[in-house]
Amino acid sequence: MRVDLSGKTALVTGSTQGIGSAIAAGLAAAGARVAINGRSETGVAKAIARLKEELPDADLVPAPGDVSDEAGAAQVVEEVPDADILVNNLGIFGAQEPLDITDDDWRRYFEVNVLAAVRLTRAYLPGMTGRGWGRIQYIASDSAIVIPAEMIHYGVSKTALLGVSRGFAKHAAGTGVTVNAVIAGPTHTGGVEDFVYELVDKDLPWDEAQREFMKKHRPQSLLQRLIEPEEIANLVVYLSSPFASATTGAAVRVDGGYVDSIVP
């Protein structure tokens, strides 16, 4: 199966590093024109330069702006007026004692993890439905279903994304636009390495630290290792393609079997 996204424009939020960067690379490798988003022009430029080393022929365009803010989202939409594929990847996470999570913390997580995606969906969905083709995805998490005690605010924000995805899928019914959530499992990124070392012995080598983290904090994983960002990207690229035309309103898992359920 060869995914061909030639002629399509994709916007991936939070795509200067981690899962977002891997998704951008996957879409670009499939032929899409990909808008790289991050908060700063410098960060976006560095990310594009790095991706160009990997994919010299990639069609990458800068789309700097903090989409968790209305003005920043408007800036991105001005840079990229139309998109055929929207991947709402931007997200923040972190461990925090449940009773220490303040109202401001809760608001920040919803602004970044939920409202940023809603804003961009409002901006791009009408154009997609008007053209009769489009793909919108929300990068959720196993934490949406298995709420972690050490970061309840993060888990609940990802639960909200599942509802947002299903609701907009209903709104787009019959238009040729599909809307899905991707439930990503524990994934190996720089930020996750820092998070792992918050919960296990900081003196452990990374391979041992990863195993210790999975054993103590994610024991239900059937993969028994962290997922690589490219493995998340593979599913996103498929869902962005014509091959996934009958998949919509779904919460599709790429979680390494972490969620103990026989249905999504």
In whole angstroms, give the CA distance from residue 75 to residue 63.
8
The residue ranges of DSSP E strands in the chain, in sequence order, are: 9-12, 33-36, 59-62, 85-88, 134-141, 177-184, 251-254
In whole angstroms, give the CA distance from residue 175 to residue 234.
25
Residues ≥6 apart with Cβ < 8 Å to 26: 230, 233, 234, 236, 237
**Helix, strand, coil tally for the chain in percent (to 5):** 50, 15, 40
Q: Which residues are catalytic?
A: 154
